[in-house]
A and B are shown apart, each in its own frame.
Chain A
Amino acid sequence: MNNRLKVLRAERDWSQAHLAELLGVSRQTVNALETGRYDPSLPLAFKIARIFEQPIESIFSED
């Protein structure tokens, strides 16, 4: 699954650590999400969507 997490985070000038804190996960998890090597659960995907104020489908897309 592809995602725009890195772009969205960069637009807000947030560090991975800051986003991790907002999401309640570790920085390593944010890194794994951004590189597309870990797909989040639905609750975490919704949380990401809420934080970036965008619908899930505009953040995540199928390969």
Chain B
Amino acid sequence: MPRTVVKILIGSAVAVVALIILSGAAGYAVGYVFADDPDAMARFEAAVAPVVLGLLGVGLMSATGWTAVLWMRSIDEAAREAHKSAWFWGGSAGMMLGGLAIILSFLPQASNWRLPFTFFDRDDPAIHAAMGAYAMILLMLLGYGLAWAWWWWKRR
């Protein structure tokens, strides 16, 4: 395995572990400070959570983008070609499936449809939108993975 790839994998693993430890420590600290005053904790959470989650999201997506750039630079041209082909054919096929679901959602019968499960105990428009985006990403990734495997299988 190329040294750059190993570096990327180790860096990603360290970042994930660090994130888990930091999140745990932050949760423990907040719980400790507000243990005697649950109302104050709720107010703190309402004020701080959007900022923390926003920063976490930006940080996570930036790290993901940075890792993707390093990854693409570390692989050879055939591997890049496989990813480009997978992105176009697999990603597009996944998007077409998602598009079909969007068109079907215009049916009057679809208004009675509910999520078959709850996400973080929520069932509101924001979570529905997030689940829709999540489902679209999953379909695209599924298509991407299949197209990527197909590209290499044809050239084995």
Contact = CB atoms under 8 A, between A and B. Distances in A.
Interface residues of B, number: 10
B77 A40 contact: yes
A40 B81 CA distance: 10
A15 interface: no
A32 B77 contact: no
B78 A25 contact: yes
Interface string A24-53: 111011011101011011001000000000
Nearest to B75: A26
B77 A41 contact: yes
A16 B154 CA distance: 18
Interface string B61-100: 0000000000000011111010000000000000000000
B155 interface: yes
A29 B78 CA distance: 6
Interface residues of A, number: 14
B34 interface: no
Contact of B155 (A24, A35, A40, A44): A35
A50 to B, nearest CB: 16
A2 to B, nearest CB: 15
Given A28-B79, A29-B78, A44-B77, 7 more contacts: A24-B76, A25-B77, A25-B78, A26-B79, A31-B156, A32-B156, A38-B81
Interface of A: 24-26, 28-29, 31-33, 35, 37-38, 40-41, 44
